[in-house]
Structure formats: C-alpha cells, structure tokens
Structure 1
Amino acid sequence: MAAGIDDVARAAGVSTATVSRALRGLPNVNAATRDRVRLVAEQLGYVASPSAASLASGRTRTIGLISPFINRWFFSNVIEGAERALRAQGFDVLLYTFEIDRSAGRAYRVDPAVLRRRVDGILVVGLPLEEDEVRALQGLGYPIVCVGWGGYGITTVRLDDRGTAMAATRHLLGLGHRRIGHISGAPDDVSPWSPPVDRAEGWREAMREAGIEPGPELEVHGHFDTAGGRESVHELLAHAPDVTAVFASSDEMAMGAILGLRDLNLRVPEDVSVIGVDGHDMGELVGLTTMAQAADEQGAAAARLVLDMIAGFSPPKEIVYPTELVRRTSTGPPPPLAPGARRARPVRRAG
C-alpha cells in the first residue's frame, strides 16, 4: 500500500498540516523541518502533490485569473508564479483583466458569466471586489482564492501589510526622521482589508508609537504607479515642505517619488529619504531601499491552494507572507538644516 500523509507525518515527527505546508512550499515551516519532511516523503514514496492525482475527470483543467493589471510588478509576478505552479500540474490560465482609470475607477464590474463552465477555480489578484461581485462569483460554485487582498470569508494569500508599513516607517524613524510623508494608493480604496489601507494604518501606528501625530498633510495618493508617485511627491512637499523622508506603498510609486524629488532639485537621500514596498527588479538600479516581498511565491501558493480546494481539501483561512528590509542608498539621516531651509535652493529647469 502506498504511503499516505499520516505515514509521512509520523516518520518525520510532525503534524499532517506541517507535512502539507512543507511539501507545498508554504511559509511558517523552518528550513530544517521542510528538508526533513521532503526527505521522508521521498523515502516513503509519498506523492507530494495529491491535488492533481485526485481531481475528478471531466474538468476544464483551467483556472480563471482575475487581475486589474498585467504590466505592473506585483501583478505580473503573482501571475507568473501562479501560472508556473498551475502548468506544472497540467492546468491552463484564463486571464480576465479590467480597464481602470484614475478618475473613473473600473470601467465595468466582474461578470461571472465570462467564467461559467470555462474554469475549475478562480484566483483574484489585487482587485478589491464589492460584496455583490464576490457573491456572484461564489454562486458559480468554484473554489476562490484571493491574492493581495481579502474579505467576505474568502481564502486569502497576502502580505503582513500593517507590519510591513510599520517596519518601513521605523527604519526611517531610526535614522532620525520625524517628518515622514506617506504615498498611498487611490483615495477611493477604503476597504478595511485592502493593502493600502493597512499600510497607511501601519505608517500612522509607527509614527504615533514614536510620539508623532501624522497630520493629513503628510499623506498623498500615488495610484500605485510611477507617474502617480512623481506627481504626489510634488503635492506632498507643497503642503509639507519640511518633510525629510517618504514611505511609498509600492516601489513603483517610490521610484516615481525619486523622479519628482529630482524635479524639485532635491537629492536622495541627502535632502529626502525614500523607501518603498515590493523588491522591484529595477530597485537596485536606482538604489531604492525597500520592504521586499516574494510576489511569485504568493501566486504559486494561491494556485496550489485552489487546486487543493478543487481536490476536496479544506484550505486555511489565510496565508500571510512576511517582507524583508533591503537597505540601499535611497535612505539616510535627515539633513542638518532647519525645517524647510533646503527648499530655498532654486529648482532646476530644463533647457
């Protein structure tokens, strides 16, 4: 008789849940335990991916992936990780994207009919949905996993957004900064389980922890793209010219902020320090200090979860990934000048 997960758990001296997490590459399993479980599974001939083997015949072997973007760092990396994990199990991806405009928001709502009888499960990447949209998707009867946001009881793979923001802000506070601005997402993104909301709360909490009340003049919206980061830092310094550091909720906004500071003839980090979130591939090129995340691993984990759900396994409520502070040259001590004094230098003009 073939070995089962209980046999692997007994031989490795761990729980069946730990065996499942170790073999699926999920977090919160230390390296030594993961290696031991994998070795025991190999020795016993245990099939490490029961999901694909136990799927019923007649499936479409396709997973629907709903995403507002495919060309931004987080989304493209999550999609790549999910697609790679699904392809390894013989599954395809049906990509369902949206047009999102800064001023008008989403051009249209999720239409469940697009996915009906075409997929076996659904991944929703970084797109906060309205409750009626979630209920409509659930009405299809397919397993659903969200990446980068959560709510309404759906299984979620996400970052520790509040902890990430607190760590980023504490890094700046530890360097001596006290006037720290924050570049968030869109002003209408107010869902309590949305990453920009949690990151803004983490920034405020770290500031208050240091005895500093973050006023509304210190928060601007950059819409999670480079252009938005560039525009928003102009707005930030117009309202708070004594800011000496900026925490941006994404690396793309952070890189945009660096461009905007150059527009204003300000040096990074001598005049203003900048930190982002993501671990963008281009971050090293510009010396960006960041809270790095493994977006591709999150996509792969979400894909494995949806396959497990199709196979009849009960998923965890959520999987929370940590981030890691990567120190580069975009952060340093605040300038030794009186607040606002450095703003007196003339702005560099083209031509």
Structure 2
Amino acid sequence: MTHGIDEVARVAGVSTATVSRALRGLPNVSPITRKRVEAVARDLGYVASPSAASLASGRTRTIGLLTPWVNRWFFANVIEGAERSLRAVGFDALLYTFDIAREVPRRPVDPSVLRHRVDGVLVVGLPLTDLEVEALEGLDRPVAFVGTGRDDHLTVRLDDHEAGVQATEHLVGLGHRRVGHVTGTPDEEHSWSPPSGRRQGWSEVLRAAGIEPEAGWEVNGHFDIQGGRTSTHALLDAHPEVTAVFAASDEMAMGAILAARDRGLRVPEDLSVVGIDGHDLGELVGLTTVSQDASGQGSQAARLLLDLIAGRGEPSLVVHPTVLVERASTAAPRA
C-alpha cells in the first residue's frame, strides 16, 4: 500500500513542506534530511502527484482560504476536504474568516494581507461584492469558489435552484399547500448566491402547483440553529396556517424543529420540516434533507485550483449532485 505525504513526514520526523522541498530538490533542506526523506518516501512507496510535480519552484505552496465561519457544518466540511487535498501535495492553507454578524456589516475583504503569501485563493461560501472579486483578481493569482461564485471563475457548488425544487416538491407532493421558507441572511441577494437559487426553486414549485406564496411565508434564519428557531417562531406567529417549512440549511431546519417543540407542535404531525445539507446530526433528529457532499466539493475545488496554479485547465463551473433523503420530519398534513 502506498502512503501520502503526511505519512512520509510523520515517519521522517519533518513537516510536509520539508518533504515536498526535499523530493523536488529545492534548497533550504540539509543533505542529511534530504536523504532521510528520500529513503522514507522510497520505503513507503510515495510518489508526488502530477499536480505537485509540475508546479513551478519558488512558490509559497500556500492557498489563501477565505470563509465566514469554520464552526458550521458546510464550511467545516468544505475546509476539511480542501485541506486534505492540499496536504496530499505538500500545500498549506492560510485561513481568514470574515464573520457575517447580524448587527454590523461584514468587514470588506482586504487582499493585501494575501499578497506574496499565497499561490491561489479559495473562497468558501463567502458572498463577495464585484469590487471585492476584482480586488482578489488584482493579486494576479487564480481564484476559486465553493458554494457561491461567479460563472467567470472556477466554481464548485451544487445546483441551488434544483435543491430548492427537490425540497419543495417533496412537501407539495405530500399534500402541503402552505409552505414557509427559512432563507439565509438578508444581504445575500446576488443571483449566484445559494439563498437566491433555493428561494427561486421554492417559489417556482409553489406557483406551478397553483399556490401563490405570500410575502410573509419567507423569513431570514441567518444559516444557524438559533436563527432558524427565532425565524420559525416569527413565521408561525404571523402565519399559523403554515403546515410545512423548507429551510435553506439543515442547521436552520433543526432550529425550526426546536421552535415547533417550543410551541407544543409535533413534527411531522403538525409541522413538516425539510432542510438542505446532509448534516451529520440529521439522522439523529430524523431530519428530511436534500443531501450534498460538502467535503467532496472542497477537495475537488482544491485540486482544480492547483491545476490552475500549475498552468493546466481553465476556470469552469462544476456542479455536484444532490439527493433527497426522506426521514421522519416530513409527512402529509393533517386533514
């Protein structure tokens, strides 16, 4: 069995970056260390990947990773997948977070902190303005997006419109006519942002079924459990006739379930709930969800970004499939 660069580094007692430099004949590695690394790599059967071998020398071997959060399911899984692919070829990730708070505007992205420090930039689920995208382009380094991004850049994502269609069609197919929607944050209004596509799928399915969604059926949940809980309370206070909720993320869907329990409502007998993600805890709470492979998206985006750095490939849109996973949180409405 062959081993990766992490195992070579562990056995040789050095960092993955040192392994990469030693095997590529780069300076700043002592002869003794180079021989030890080469011997370990030979014994373990490690061969550097084509992407790593073709990268020009003198690079930082670091990818700038921009994300709003690291403690939420989608972002954590994308980051883990990306780092796994980067470590496999001796690259590091330089992480910058830009918290999207509810009370204050997000601080703008400042590319100057990345200049001369990274070979490329991976943006994970962070909605950027056109000016911010142009500023990143000014680094003269490849830029890739996961989850949200413009069509003129490398973007790996799911089909958010189709995910919204899958979730809403499931509820309408069960017989629900009054379906509320817990969306993301109010400032994510780009046509290519996930909340926009998921909202569009929801409204289109309802209208196709002859249901005109009322303005009050849509509430903002800020993509977290507490936001989903608070917004579902607001939704049901204003529209107690709602029998089902489509939340644009599993964490907001879990918050919707908690809100139902707060109100003495049973799920799914009194309120059906469906989310999007495939969260690890979804099975535990019996959540029906439109599942996506977040880790796979991060891993593929990192590999494609490395190809761009190495001068291969072109910026493209890669769409990952989704699948509806039916569990106990959805059922036909009460007669």
Once residues 179 and 90 of structure 1 are traced to their aligned partners in structure 2, the CA distance between those partners, rounded to angstroms, is 52
- Counting only pairs closer than 5 Å after superposition, residues 154-165 of structure 1 correspond to structure 2 as 154-165=153-164
Aligned to 1:60: 60
Residues in 1 aligned to 2:266 and 2:111: alpha-carbon distance in whole angstroms: 49
Runs of 4+ more than 3 Å apart: none
1:104 alignment partner in structure 2: 104
**Deviating more after overlay: 306-315 vs 97-106:** 97-106
Q: Distance in 1 between matches of 2:61 and 2:212?
A: 52
Partner of 2:316: 317
* 1:73 correspondence with 2:73: yes
**Matched position secondary structure for 2:93:** strand
Q: CA deviation at 1:50?
A: 2.4
Q: CA deviation at 1:248?
A: 0.2
Q: Does 1:275 align with 2:274?
A: yes
Paired residue for 1:245? 244
Q: What SS does the aligned partner of 2:266 have? A: coil
Work out whether 1:82 is the aligned partner of 2:62. Answer: no
* C-alpha distance in structure 1 between counterparts of 2:73 and 2:252, whole Å: 11
For the residue of structure 1 that corresponds to 2:166, the secondary structure is helix
* Alpha-carbon separation, structure 2, partners of 1:154 and 1:191: 15
Is the contact between residue 245 and residue 272 of structure 2 (CA under 8 Å) also seen in structure 1? yes
The one-letter code matched in structure 1 to 2:92 is D
SS of residue paired to 2:180: strand
How far apart, CA to CA, are the structure 2 residues paired with 1:98 and 1:150?
16
Q: Is the 8 A contact 1:131 1:152 kept in 2?
A: no
What's the CA shift for 1:175? 0.6
More displaced 10-residue stretch of structure 1: 261-270 or 48-57: 48-57
Deviations 1:89-126 (A, max 9, x none): 110000011132112231x1111111011110100000
CA distance in 1, matches of 2:331, 2:105: 36
- Is 1:91 the equivalent of 2:91? yes
CA distance in 1 between counterparts of 2:66 and 2:315 reads: 21
Contact 2:151/2:316 (<8 A) preserved: no
Superposition pairs of residues 1-351 of structure 1, within 5 angstroms: 49-106=49-106, 108-151=107-150, 153-336=152-335
Q: C-alpha separation between the residues in 2 aligned to 1:85 and 1:152? A: 23
Alpha-carbon offset, residue 48 of structure 1: 9.8
Give the conservation status (yes or no) of the 8 Å contact 1:82–1:301: yes
The alignment partner of 1:297 has SS state of: helix
1:315 is displaced (CA, Å) by: 2.5
Q: Percent identity?
A: 64
Distance 1:222 1:99 in 2: 16
Kindly provide the amino acid, as one letter, of the partner of residue 52 in structure 1: A
Q: Deviations over 1:306-333 (max 9, x none)?
A: 1000111123420011111111000001
Q: Distance in 2 between matches of 1:256 and 1:48?
A: 45
CA distance in 2, matches of 1:49, 1:178: 53
Residue in 1 that maps onto 2:18: none
SS of equivalent residue, structure 2 residue 51? helix
Larger deviation: 139-148 or 152-161? Answer: 152-161
CA contact (8 A) 1:268 1:330 kept: yes
Root-mean-square deviation over aligned CA pairs: 1.2
Asked whether the 8 Å contact 2:48–2:89 carries over to 1, the reply is no
TM-score normalised over the length of structure 2: 0.84
Amino acid at match of 1:283: G
Which stretch has the larger CA shift, 149-158 or 306-315? 149-158
Q: Deviation digits for residues 26-66 of structure 1, max 9, x if unmatched?
A: xxxxxxxxxxxxxxxxxxxxx99422111000011110100
Unaligned runs of 5+ in 1: 1-46, 337-351
Describe the superposition over 1:183-219 as per-residue Cα deviations: whole angstroms up to 9, x where unpaired: 0011221111100011000000111111111110110
Match in the other structure for 1:35: none
Please report the TM-score for the alignment, with normalisation by the length of structure 1: 0.81
